[in-house]
Amino acid sequence: MIECDMLIAQAKAARAARDLARAAVLYGAAVQCLRHAGEADQLAHTLRHFGDVLLDAGDAAAALAPLEEALHLRRADDAVDPLELANTLRPLALAYGALHRDADCIATWREARDLYAVRGIRPGIDEANRALSRLGAA
């Protein structure tokens, strides 16, 4: 597990330095490490960040698989915090939008907005509402 934590720390540092290619490689390695460690919660979190980095790098198509897997893991957790689920849906909605998958994008933003509302996270609610308005689905 220490190895996984080191990879995640290095990936975060690379992302902060805007070295997205290195961050993606490191997050990918961290994902594989966490799979072997059997850490579902941390795996879901790291998959989300891996997808975020791929989105930041402009590769929404590559971001889909880790983001969808992260969502699958979150949905399988009966005790998942609504904010954690909303934060997992958000980049997936962005990826769907970038890929012009409007129906998926709308449904995902709506669910994220509702979950942000449960926790009273105004910036998340506002971002979702703006995205839905752009899609004509407010």
- The model's pLDDT over 80-122, given as tens digits with 9 standing for 90+, comes to 999 999 999 999 999 999 999 999 999 999 999 999 999 999 9
CATH numbers and ranges of domains, the chain: 1-80 (1.25.40.10), 81-138 (no CATH)
- The model's pLDDT over 17-27, given as tens digits with 9 standing for 90+, comes to 999 999 999 99
pTM as predicted: 0.94
Q: DSSP H helical segments within 38-101, as ranges?
A: 40-56, 60-76, 82-98
What is the percent of the chain with per-residue pLDDT over 70, rounded to a whole number? Answer: 100
